């Protein structure tokens, strides 16, 4: 199992492209198209927000009812959320344009949008963009990269990852792209992620693998505790690797899940560290919790606390805020036996032991917290379960970006 260069075009039989359609932004690519040269098994998980964007509603229906899909059209700039029936019609027109240009069934086309809520997508421009993209599909690494860049909004870097492994001597590839970086607190999926793989697998097992995977990957990151209206993780598996189709939870299925986890964890951590205004990736590990759910809830409570996030920004070892965030998470534990550590670049410091501060050096603690990737570890000493969540610091730039995002 090894990471390779590339993203959504890494797996065999996948092509991508991007274009500048002027959906809202000027002078940059803002639409992307991902295409499988053959019908691919389709799986996906989507936002649990009651307010679902038009493309999310469309995709949920397709993932539920169709075995195969072949294309995903994505745009940045406008989210097509809170746009009522008109937004749904525009979304369908976009899917139809892809279907006509690529000569594939309408219900083989998935859609995904990200950007401002409430505005309508200028449909003629979108259709022009789709027509241009359909002629320009390409399986190069660069084409995948262009697609990953086109879906960025306030992201500062594109997020791509690809992994290869073998099943019965067949090389299998999984590649993916995703985008952050605000309204990121995924609940079942993340804001626009497309994973492509050439593995042969049944649709049911693909969906199950994806559903399980997000619990430990995208659902464990948060930038701002705001669960988006558009969160979508779409997975296409086209079978081009020519392995014997996976239809049971055998060793091959496990290999696929492991490889998928590498791709999704990598993308998830990239999203957290590129959170709006972020200067640091902040990881919270909760170990020896009573239950898995306790560990999840506790670790997410730490990474989502504004007070913890600002302290991380200031490299201030204000550990009381971490203990406080554990305390209000809604999980019972005994504060008098908890230990707390911080760690970066291989240096670990114990700040708190059995309910009271240790005699740690503030200077050393500040040094540990000044790294680009910082971990806090809470040892609950109550059981055997653990969980890891990823977030980022809360900075002046977060306020700047969001104080006037629309202008």
Question: At closest approach, how far in Å is the CB of 27 from its own copies?
Answer: 23
| H or E segment and range at residue 213 | helix 203-216
Exposure b/e, 61-72, CB count within 10 A at least 16 = b: ebbeebebbbbb
Question: At closest approach, how far in Å is the CB of 22 from its own copies?
Answer: 21
Name the β-bridge partners of 118. Answer: none
**366 is known as an active-site residue:** no
Other Cβ atoms closer than 10 A to 370: 13
Please, are residues 162 and 176 in contact by the beta-carbon 8 Å criterion? yes
User: DSSP assignment, residue 223?
Assistant: S
Question: At closest approach, how far in Å is the CB of 190 from its own copies?
Answer: 14
Question: At closest approach, how far in Å is the CB of 17 from its own copies?
Answer: 29
Q: Calculate ∠ Cα 79-180-143, nearest 5°.
A: 85
Contact residues for its own copies, defined by CB under 8 A: 48-52, 79, 81-84, 86, 116-119, 182-183, 185, 187, 224-229, 304-307, 310-311, 313-314, 316, 318-321, 323-329, 331-333, 335-336, 352, 354-357, 394-396, 398-407
By beta-carbon proximity to its own copies, the closer residue of 175 and 186 is 186
Question: At closest approach, how far in Å is the CB of 100 from its own copies?
Answer: 28
Q: Calculate ∠ Cα 42-48-52, nearest 5°.
A: 85
Question: At closest approach, how far in Å is the CB of 203 from its own copies?
Answer: 29
By beta-carbon proximity to its own copies, the closer residue of 202 and 358 is 358
By beta-carbon proximity to its own copies, the closer residue of 179 and 265 is 179
Question: At closest approach, how far in Å is the CB of 200 from its own copies?
Answer: 36
By beta-carbon proximity to its own copies, the closer residue of 105 and 355 is 355
DSSP 82-124: S-HHHHHHHHHHHHHHHHHHHT--GGGEEEEEEEESSPPP-HH
By beta-carbon proximity to its own copies, the closer residue of 169 and 332 is 332
How far apart CA 312 and CA 391 sit, in angstroms, is 11
Q: Calculate ∠ Cα 18-233-195, nearest 5°.
A: 60
Exposure b/e, 138-156, CB count within 10 A at least 16 = b: ebebebbbbbbbbbbbbbe
By beta-carbon proximity to its own copies, the closer residue of 1 and 399 is 399
Please, are residues 87 and 75 in contact by the beta-carbon 8 Å criterion? no
Residues 111, 154, 190, 304: which is the catalytic one?
190
Collapsed DSSP state (helix, strand, coil) of residue 394: coil
DSSP 251-312: HHHHHHHHHHHHHHHHHHHHHHHTSTT-S-EEEEEEEEESSHHHHHHHHHHHHH-HHHHHHH
DSSP 315-344: T---HHHHHHHHHTSS----GGG-EEEEEE
By beta-carbon proximity to its own copies, the closer residue of 347 and 396 is 396
By beta-carbon proximity to its own copies, the closer residue of 142 and 334 is 334
Question: At closest approach, how far in Å is the CB of 401 from its own copies?
Answer: 8
Name the β-bridge partners of 31. Answer: 19, 75
Q: Which residues are catalytic?
A: 190
């Amino acid at each position: 199992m090894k990471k390779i260069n590339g993203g959504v075009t890494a797996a065999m039989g996948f092509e991508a492209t991007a274009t500048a359609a002027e959906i809202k932004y000027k002078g940059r690519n803002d639409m992307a198209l991902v295409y499988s040269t053959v019908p691919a098994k389709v799986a996906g998980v989507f936002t649990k927000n009651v307010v679902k964007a038009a493309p999310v509603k469309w995709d949920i229906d397709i993932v539920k009812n169709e075995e195969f899909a072949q294309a995903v059209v994505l745009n940045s700039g406008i989210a097509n959320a809170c746009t009522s029936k008109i937004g749904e019609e525009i979304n369908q027109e976009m899917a139809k344009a892809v279907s006509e240009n690529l000569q594939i069934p309408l219900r083989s086309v998935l859609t995904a949008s990200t950007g401002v809520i409430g505005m309508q997508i200028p449909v003629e421009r979108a259709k022009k963009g789709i027509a241009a993209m359909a002629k320009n599909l390409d399986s190069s690494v660069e084409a995948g990269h262009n697609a990953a860049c086109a879906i960025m909004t306030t992201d500062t870097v594109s997020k791509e990852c690809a992994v290869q492994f073998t099943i019965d001597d067949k090389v299998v590839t999984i590649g993916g792209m995703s985008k952050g970086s605000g309204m990121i607190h995924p609940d079942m999926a993340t804001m626009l992620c497309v994973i492509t793989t050439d593995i042969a697998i049944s649709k049911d097992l693909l969906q199950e693998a994806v559903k399980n995977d997000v619990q430990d990957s995208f659902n464990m990151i948060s930038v701002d505790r705001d669960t988006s209206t558009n969160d979508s993780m779409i997975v296409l598996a086209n079978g081009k690797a020519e392995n014997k189709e996976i239809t049971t939870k055998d060793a091959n299925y496990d290999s696929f899940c492991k490889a998928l986890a590498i791709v999704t964890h990598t993308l998830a951590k990239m999203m957290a560290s590129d959170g709006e205004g972020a200067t640091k990736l902040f990881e919270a590990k909760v170990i020896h919790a009573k239950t898995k759910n306790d560990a999840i809830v506790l670790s997410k409570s730490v990474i989502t606390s504004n007070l913890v996030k600002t302290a991380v920004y200031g490299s201030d070892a204000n550990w009381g805020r971490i203990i406080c965030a554990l305390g209000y998470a809604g999980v019972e534990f005994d504060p008098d036996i908890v230990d707390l550590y911080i760690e970066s670049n291989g240096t670990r410091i114990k700040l708190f032991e059995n309910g009271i501060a240790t005699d740690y050096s503030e200077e050393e603690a500040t040094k540990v917290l000044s790294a680009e990737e910082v971990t806090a570890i809470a040892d609950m000493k109550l059981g055997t379960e653990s969980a890891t969540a990823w977030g980022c610091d809360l900075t002046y730039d977060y306020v700047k970006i969001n104080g006037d995002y629309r202008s």
